[in-house]
Structure 1
């Protein structure tokens, strides 16, 4: 008898003789029925318990799987008798089982995971079962035809012409472009931040919590779904502008959400983050999930499928040009950089942050090396050209400097000495003069122009706008006012507004050598402008000119290259100088003239706007003027212009009806801009509302207030440039930073602005907070695309790249050695992306 009872039990136990996969499906079906009818679910719960006991010895191959199955058995044994809680507990058991399904050797079926009514295929409240949102597994190997990296992106599966048009907006046209299309971040669902931890909620974060509120909004405004999640430490609002998400999640779901923290009226929030259910299918892949820059109409799953297919198709076709350069690489660098195919794989689908960082270092080094090869090559070629040596009389230079109405700083004297040494050489000078706002760069340029005149040569000074050109003419005239009339340089101005008769007269005087210093805009590079003996070219705010424009002016020296001095008031972090100016020598003016009154910088919250307006009114009552900068609008210049006009009208109507308010924006014609600035300089208006066109170089000594709306939207360097527009007349001045609500990063920038007025320190902080993209992407002309560097890089890689480039070119200046063929091809392709379209020409 004792032997018959277990035989009978074995025969009657559900699932006897079934394979594990069938057992698992029957188990899930039992849980589904129990979830649907929780008041009469005891039979199905007993069935699920029996099926679990049969499944354990057949699939529990690891301790983790065994523990998960045992936990499910324990949960089923202590289910709540309360209907809502009982359903929730059943759901958690089903979710945990589906999460381990890939780990027990069972293929995941077509049933998505999550709330049982949604995830197990039921309909509720008229909602059809949603299509599961799945992510491509990092190591899945679809059948893809081998392709060259140069193949069109449409060669990849499921990339048709319409998708290709959208990819083109992301600069993805070839398979190779897809390989190098770097994720902007990776999601690590195992690394979550507590919502109630304010110091952790900065930048890109991943949070986990239960949905305690879900709402769909169909008007007014854009249709959207908002949820609030709670993780035990705090709650957070999440918004998606995709109402279909409401069919995929429900209150009670526990989800991960990963995105960029933003400020909102209800506190910190996430907008359109990546999301996944706890225990969802993407969490079983074992790697980090890439999140790519995108454009409208391109889903992340499309981009992930594209990069996965590109990797599978092109792996055998990728040519690695770095191994032949091993003899030129410094130290152990060659051993630290992974092979190219491995770098591509780990760029997109790493299993650890260390793998991604190594891959990114490899690809960043490639770009840095190609950049430095071009810059070192350009510098060597310029140094090999014949220039005009200027005879330097140091006593005569000191005589001129003694006529100035102020004493030079040590940094100014050091820069003048460096420049004078270059000017005396028979090879052309190519030097950048960097100085903070108000550091006194113009007097250094004036000293060089004096040396050129005394050496019998002419100077051309080129500014990006007519306003700045006129400003330079006035400042240079003032700087030479103390010189004896017989020795004073002849200074002339040439802009687009110069009348034809005056142009003809000026052309004759310039060609005869009567004009010593010609100041102007792009008009200086016109054909009819001919110099007698051009020896020095000074270019102000050099990042606004392309290589071709600079070279056209240099060509006017009739065979011999003139000396080139570029100036910028935009402090560049020292770590980026080799990137942006690797073909130039750099002089720094890192000291301010004594006696300047520091600008008072204050931070105001939205409700304190009236206090900021009071400061404006007080200063205008003292006879001064004020700038008001409108918030940065990234959508378009037209929208930004309309916003500026609307803000000027609002201020005139509601805030300062008794004052004179004018507006300046980038969509205005040059003539109207100049007229507006001339009226402001002549004190015909009290307040100038402007967009960022006011950023560089404008000199209004009577302006003492710079009020910046939406200050948290600007970078530190740009805010510092705005601040530098005031405090130029000797009176105490104010920079007022207004922002309604700010992200932690935005608030840190504003507090840093309040704490210091050192432009170089601010530039370094800006680099730390925002990466080098602002310096590289928007401020340079004549450089290739440098997207790899947008989010920062190890400066040691830059030093390694510079050393490697110099070693290669020292041995092979023309890159013609057979071992360098692939490097040369990569170099030509890389520099073809320069903004001028002409690379180094």
Structure 2
């Protein structure tokens, strides 16, 4: 048996189970060896039942005796619920398992066992319970693996034990000096321990090595990418200071200091620091003229919600167009693309800079100076010449290959070749096959990013930060509202609408039964959701608000299943068959008083007249996402409000939501969100090519600094000296594609 052996040939597996393992990404013995636990349960630390009320939402271990155990069938969902009452010398607790009726034959009254599970509160029976806890017969540290249908964690642990001897054959890929300097375990010892920990101390040491590896490899890949970009050339823009001064003076608002600083950093990138002369010769260019080359800008513009990133992007676009080039801006949704088109048109067209729009349903002025669009910009059907600046909004919502396609086509086909001058201008100009333009690149995000996370995730980018609000904006008043004050909240919303204002109501799901859509929302109690009747959905709340609470007001609904744009001759199912674009435009124009929506309005939606954001089931969202919702209001001089409703009785949830009341800075909330979430998915960047860390915590500043410094040393010194490491980094790069 070796690393490439198919798992189906392991004892007791076979083709059928192998197909199930394939769903987990496990096809070979190597895959199995690197299939890590998602968490651990320490059965050596036992809690007494009378201490559990203070630990709701936490995983705890109890040593108990079974008092009684029964099965029952549910009529609504048609599955079996196994319920048991267990006790220790301090009290009793209810245990619930789903679709495991055989347990009544295995576990009899009087049996003693150790259980580990999440402590919850059953609002129906008004008592504590554990749902689907794991069982053991003796105290130990138990690895818990991600599961799939027919493959349980304990079965994966059994398979891991059968191949444990192969861990010693894994080849080390991190240079010995880095292992020594950082006091790390060998990769062989670390892999062996994470699957079969002897004690908590050895497990922590193994997890430290695995966390270092994740951060180091990710950072190194980013550092190498940054160096690859710097090899290319981009046109260096000439800066007309008088034009810029007049452009800024004509803006309908005053720039903040943070906006000015960020804009200047971008302008310096576009201007460049190098002095290699070149001549542009390309019939597609409007002019033929001499300029300087520079390395391509590769910058992230990170701003808080409503801080004014778009106007900074507009300044950069104006500089590029003034130099005779064009700009492409790609947004993740048609709603956001339409909004950017509208905003940029308002800012740029007074200076005779044209703005076009390209989406899957619309092509308007493809020859414009600034072209705004969705992924339709890279569909292959659209050809845009002479692009010197690419702007991507919320780039984490696009895949790595999508982002690359917006940059790559213009390097050799649509931008001019570069011809370098020698020191003696009379010599024949020598042309290099590699001397093609690469556009400057600006990424924008409205998600405030903690510094430690920025060091890792955006190591390949320079970062500009807008951390202050435009003048005249008032702090949004945020309140966690108790259930008994719901009617007062409705009365308050009515009062705001009487003033001529508008309101949002956010729900976590579209309709009842949408558990799958809601599965990624944090703090979700899956077992209790099976019995809840009052989960807040767009469909249900829309009906309730429009018929019972506000029958005299104009209410619309919006969700991700609606068509993005009007269908030709088609009929929709919601809001009179209207599309998302039509609903948003109508709401922006004041045709609706209240918009009931899912998280589709999370980013970028700008409705200056909206003053109330009401969020149902707020515990189902992270702080960063709640802050994004809150940022949909308060976008004018009007006082705005954010009302948070939660049905959770958890003290942890109450504490977390209280931060929203006291903290208005997105960056401070981001740090708190990072602290609360700990290791795991990168703050909403887990999709589209961003890595999901299994061991590393992006709040571990010391570990991040060690790993990034080690990665920088390798990148600066050249990775070619370390073939095993180079191979491993290549695997990391493929993972990000």
State if a TM-score over 0.5 links the two structures: yes
Q: 1:153 to 1:273 in 2, by over 3 A?
A: same
| Correspondence for 2:444 among 539, 557, 567 | 567
In terms of Rg, which structure is larger?
1
Q: Is the CA contact (8 Å cut-off) linking 1:416 and 1:444 kept in structure 2?
A: yes
| Correspondence for 2:455 among 578, 581, 595 | 578
2:652 paired residue number: 745
- Post-superposition offset of 1:307: 1.3
Q: Distance in 2 between matches of 1:228 and 1:162?
A: 36
1:684-704 CA distances to partner (integer Å, 9 max, x unpaired)? 222222222111111122222
**Alignment pair present for 1:615 and 2:492:** yes
| Correspondence for 2:516 among 599, 616, 636 | 636
Superposed counterparts of 1:347-496, under 5 Å: 347-425=194-272, 426-480=294-348, 487-496=351-360
| Correspondence for 2:612 among 702, 705, 708 | 705
- Which stretch has the larger CA shift, 471-480 or 212-221? 212-221
SS at match of 2:102: helix
SS at match of 1:670: coil
Q: Distance in 2 between matches of 1:597 and 1:264?
A: 41
**Alignment pair present for 1:179 and 2:33:** yes
Q: Is the CA contact (8 Å cut-off) linking 1:637 and 1:667 kept in structure 2?
A: no
Q: Is the CA contact (8 Å cut-off) linking 2:296 and 2:438 kept in structure 1?
A: yes
Q: Distance in 2 between matches of 1:377 and 1:650?
A: 55
Superposed counterparts of 1:639-658, under 5 Å: 643-658=537-552
Q: Higher relative CO (CA 8 A, sep ≥ 6), structure 1 or 2?
A: 2
| Correspondence for 2:689 among 770, 773, 782 | 782
1:224 paired residue number: 81
Q: 1:635 to 1:413 in 2, by over 3 A?
A: same
2:728 paired residue number: 826
Q: Distance in 1 between matches of 2:209 and 2:705?
A: 14
Q: Distance in 2 between matches of 1:294 and 1:413?
A: 50
Q: 1:789 to 1:185 in 2, by over 3 A?
A: closer
Q: Is the CA contact (8 Å cut-off) linking 1:777 and 1:786 kept in structure 2?
A: no
- Post-superposition offset of 1:316: 4.2
Q: Distance in 2 between matches of 1:663 and 1:790?
A: 40
| Correspondence for 2:96 among 231, 239, 243 | 239
**Alignment pair present for 1:668 and 2:523:** no
Q: Is the CA contact (8 Å cut-off) linking 1:709 and 1:737 kept in structure 2?
A: yes
1:272 paired residue number: 132
2:674 paired residue number: 767
Aligned residues: 656
**Alignment pair present for 1:591 and 2:468:** yes
Q: 1:330 to 1:761 in 2, by over 3 A?
A: farther
Q: Distance in 2 between matches of 1:261 and 1:172?
A: 31
Q: Distance in 2 between matches of 1:156 and 1:167?
A: 12
1:405-434 CA distances to partner (integer Å, 9 max, x unpaired)? 332222112212211111111110000000
Q: Distance in 1 between matches of 2:361 and 2:609?
A: 26
SS at match of 1:388: strand
- Post-superposition offset of 1:733: 1.9
2:181 paired residue number: 332
1:35 paired residue number: none
Q: Is the CA contact (8 Å cut-off) linking 1:149 and 1:318 kept in structure 2?
A: no
SS at match of 1:832: helix
Q: Distance in 1 between matches of 2:380 and 2:150?
A: 48
| Correspondence for 1:160 among 14, 18, 23 | 14
- Post-superposition offset of 1:391: 1.3
SS at match of 1:240: strand
- Structure 1 residues not aligned, in runs of 5+: 1-146, 837-841
1:180-225 CA distances to partner (integer Å, 9 max, x unpaired)? 2222222222312344444444422223445455443234353222
- Post-superposition offset of 1:233: 5.0
SS at match of 1:243: coil
Q: Is the CA contact (8 Å cut-off) linking 2:614 and 2:643 kept in structure 1?
A: yes
2:700 paired residue number: 794
Structure whose residues are more often helix by fraction: 1
1:204 paired residue number: 59
- Post-superposition offset of 1:790: 6.8
1:343 paired residue number: 190
TM-score for both structures, normalised by structure 1: 0.73
Structure whose residues are more often strand by fraction: 2
Q: 1:231 to 1:214 in 2, by over 3 A?
A: same
- Structure 2 residues not aligned, in runs of 5+: 273-293, 416-435, 521-534, 566-578
TM-score for both structures, normalised by structure 2: 0.83
